Structure 1
Amino acid sequence: MNSRGLALLLAASISVVTTAFLSLVNVSVNALIVTFVISFSSSYLLIHMILNFLIFNEIKKMQNAIKKLNNKEIQFNDPEGFNPLNPLKRIQSEIHAYAVSKQQEIDQLKKTENFRREFIADISHELKTPIFSAQGFVHTLLDGAIEDKKVRQKFLKKAAKSLDGLDILVQDLLTLSQMETGQIKMQYERFNVFAVVNEVFEQLEGEAEKKEIDMGFTEFSNNQVFVVADQQRIYQVMLNLISNAIKYTRKQGSVRVGFEKRKKEVLITVSDNGRGIPDEDIKRIFERFYRVEKSRSKDKGGTGLGLAIVKHVLEAHDTRIEVQSKVEEGSTFSFALPTA
């Protein structure tokens, strides 16, 4: 039954009762008819308006909200708000708020599930390569190759290299896990970040020479750049950024580190003239195991966790890493640290 039918029924009942009471008094038939018509009309209009605007319309809105929720079309706002004088509108607002919160929980659970699925697939893929490699060398030795001294030495070195890579991967995973759970605390101190970058250059000198890459500082950099941060972690950040720049810069390219002093901070940049990063990949390069060049990732080496560690370390320093890149022109990574 709709609001009109219910209003007709209630109005007729009220009119009949009112007319019956008046009939007990000495009232003419015409007066009774007029009373019936007036009471019926006024009761119908009033009841119909109340039922239609305060009850049935609100129930219809609730049904539409539930329908949208089932169709995943729920909106994350309630433009009408709620009227405290109308309990049904208040219930509708509560249903809307509950539906929105549950939809957000469902979306978050789906994101978490997708992340878990991708993470398991990625970690399985990354672990498989060094394990299978070392396993193959060891089984080859056990099958008789161990008798040949040259082959034995060669295969043992290769197996050791694979296991070293596996150890680095596990250590990087532990570092990320400890950062996310807050187990690693930053040890702030005053140090010269220019000297730290020089140490990184010395460590990566061999890799740069193989590709004939020129490493150095920008023209406006000086050799006294003191900041307050965790020196060991910033060393790790610079090592990952410069190492990545070398890997993805073409032969005979260049890698430059710059320092721009500001009022209360120093902007540190790492630039290269390599292949660059496509726009669709920039937002994801700081995810675990994400690689821009999937097909050549193994040739480049690394664990795929370097930029994820960079992101977490800098966030722990209350700063963030920024990226500017153009395909075939190069990339620039930058972040700021407070001056000493």
Structure 2
Amino acid sequence: MNLKQRFLTQGILIFIGTILITSCVGFAYSYFCNLFNKFPVTSGIGEASVVVIENENIIYKNDDFSRIQVKEILMNVSIGNNYYIHENTKYSINTEDFSTVSGDKYNIINLNPIINVGNYYRNLMVLVFITFLIVFAVASIIVQKQNMKNIINPITNLTEETEKLRHGDLETAITDRGYGEIRDLERVVEQLRLQLKNSIYYEEKVDDNRKFLISSISHDLKTPVTSIRGYIDGVLDGVADTNEKKQYYLSKAVEKTKMINIMIEDLLLYSKLDLNQMPFEKEKVNVRKYVESCIEDSLAEFEGEDKSITFENELGDEVFVTIDLDKFNRVVQNIMDNAKRNIEKHSGQLKIVLRETNSSVIMEFKDNGKGIHKNDLPYVFERFYRADTARAVKGSSGLGLAIAKQIVEGLDGQIWAISEMDEGASIMISLKKVKRYEKDINY
């Protein structure tokens, strides 16, 4: 029920209730008046008194009339006055005379008290009017008290709380204690407060991220740029005085420029992923064959550094997932490069294990490096997070695992890390299984 209907209903109920209560009081007044007077007041005529006279002797009377009063009554009748007043009561007089065969004369006098109906109705109207005013006032006060609680006070509180919002106080929650549209308005204002609070939070977070990105990029670019300048200055200043040294200095400068290029590419990729500006073109692939091809592509690099890759397949049958091949290749490559940087020569090993649940495929990339400290573990997928085991500076932009997380979650998967110090680290990826003949999905 909205406020308009509520006010209309209240007015109708107050009016009807007042009329009903007033009517009950009026009926009660009439009932008790008739009860105490032993005759219907509204008729205007009371209980009749009868006097019977035989040969001028009173032989019967049903009221306390004396002989003298009876003579006064008969005198009034003889002069044509048919009214008699006794004890502040006015009576109408009706007489009947007859004689018997034996010659006895009888007079029957009927005295009917005349009630002042005007006084009765006047008193009734006054009682009804006063009762109507009292009941109407009490009902209105009760209703207004409820309206004060459910409408007026919530509006006043909402006004004060909205004024706080206008001055930037977004911490005070707005409670929905009102009625109908007032409650809806309070809920809308509360949602507005939360949205404003979230927008300010995200604005501050974006600003902090921007500052953090600028600081991190400046820090990471400073080292290779300084190295490049040093190598070039070495050539120009004649430090590299032989062709072999010049070739060495220039090759190192080229290597540093490649590092800068990798960092810029990773930063652009991460920014696009973070802003959801990169569409995913998904296709169905066989997980086992896909992992085997990734291992084959990276095996030469691992062997070149005297490190090894092993593969363990625990899948029962052929299992398929839907992924964006180009982007997921970046995920696998980043994880494998990160593992390769953190394992030792000769004994360093990366083990890739495939297993499955009822609905998902689990890829585990487990290395036998130093592991990740438990304090660093929750942050390894954050951009530019600096931990020796999670990010080596050499050849890394610091965004590899952050990009991997963005891509995996964009493919509706999950990625997490588990590790114990001195026991290596494992990067886990969970992807939803699909049926072999399910259609490819492009986004």
Selected match of 1:128 from 222, 236, 258: 222
Instruction: Classify 1:203/1:227 alpha carbon distance in 2 versus 1 (closer, same or farther; 3 Å).
Output: farther
Indicate the RMSD between aligned Cα atoms, in angstroms.
3.9
In structure 2, distance between residues paired with 1:97 and 1:244: 44
The answer to whether residue 429 in structure 2 is matched with residue 331 in structure 1 is no
In structure 1, distance between residues paired with 2:427 and 2:177: 45
Where has structure 1 moved over 6 Å in runs of 4 or more? Answer: 221-226
In structure 2, distance between residues paired with 1:268 and 1:181: 25
CA shift digits 1:122-156 (9 cap, x unpaired): 11222222122111211232223354334322211
In structure 2, distance between residues paired with 1:137 and 1:223: 55
CA shift digits 1:139-183 (9 cap, x unpaired): 232223354334322211211111111122222233334545544
Instruction: Classify 1:154/1:224 alpha carbon distance in 2 versus 1 (closer, same or farther; 3 Å).
Output: farther
In structure 2, distance between residues paired with 1:49 and 1:186: 64
Question: Runs of 5+ in structure 2 lacking a partner?
Answer: 1-121, 437-443
Per-residue deviation, 1:50:
5.2
In structure 1, distance between residues paired with 2:374 and 2:148: 54
Note the 1:188-267 alignment, pairs <5 A.
Answer: 188=283, 190=285, 192-193=289-290, 194-207=292-305, 209=306, 213-218=307-312, 220=314, 229-249=323-343, 252-261=347-356, 266-267=361-362
Instruction: Classify 1:61/1:221 alpha carbon distance in 2 versus 1 (closer, same or farther; 3 Å).
Output: closer
Letter in structure 1 aligned against 2:153 = F
Instruction: Classify 1:71/1:281 alpha carbon distance in 2 versus 1 (closer, same or farther; 3 Å).
Output: farther
Note the 1:66-81 alignment, pairs <5 A.
Answer: 67=164, 70-75=168-173, 80=176
In structure 1, distance between residues paired with 2:188 and 2:226: 56
Q: Which residue of structure 2 lines up, in the alignment, with residue 318 of structure 1?
A: 412
- What SS does structure 1 have at the residue aligned with 2:414? coil
Per-residue deviation, 1:270:
0.5
Letter in structure 2 aligned against 1:293 = D
Letter in structure 2 aligned against 1:284 = Y
The answer to whether residue 153 in structure 2 is matched with residue 56 in structure 1 is yes
Q: Which residue of structure 2 lines up, in the alignment, with residue 293 of structure 1?
A: 388
In structure 2, distance between residues paired with 1:182 and 1:302: 24
In structure 1, distance between residues paired with 2:359 and 2:134: 82
Instruction: Classify 1:82/1:302 alpha carbon distance in 2 versus 1 (closer, same or farther; 3 Å).
Output: same
More strand by percentage:
2
CA contact 1:189–1:231 (8 Å) conserved in 2 = no
Which of the pair has more CA radius of gyration? 2
Instruction: Classify 1:63/1:313 alpha carbon distance in 2 versus 1 (closer, same or farther; 3 Å).
Output: same
In structure 1, distance between residues paired with 2:187 and 2:299: 61
Comparing 157-166 with 251-260, which one deviates more in the overlay?
A: 251-260
Aligned identity (percent) is 25
In structure 1, distance between residues paired with 2:184 and 2:279: 48
Letter in structure 1 aligned against 2:238 = G
Comparing 272-281 with 287-296, which one deviates more in the overlay?
A: 287-296
Note the 1:127-146 alignment, pairs <5 A.
Answer: 127-145=221-239
Selected match of 1:106 from 200, 208, 229: 200
TM-score normalised by structure 1 residue count:
0.71
The answer to whether residue 429 in structure 2 is matched with residue 306 in structure 1 is no
- Aligned pair count reads 300
Per-residue deviation, 1:200:
1.6
In structure 2, distance between residues paired with 1:220 and 1:108: 43
Letter in structure 2 aligned against 1:260 = R
Larger relative contact order (C-alpha < 8 A, sep ≥ 6)?
A: 1
More helix by percentage:
1
CA contact 2:314–2:356 (8 Å) conserved in 1 = no
Selected match of 1:275 from 349, 370, 389: 370
CA shift digits 1:195-246 (9 cap, x unpaired): 3223222222223x2xxx5431237579987765444444332222122123
TM-score normalised by structure 2 residue count:
0.56
Instruction: Classify 1:96/1:221 alpha carbon distance in 2 versus 1 (closer, same or farther; 3 Å).
Output: closer
- What SS does structure 2 have at the residue aligned with 1:218? strand
In structure 2, distance between residues paired with 1:52 and 1:223: 71
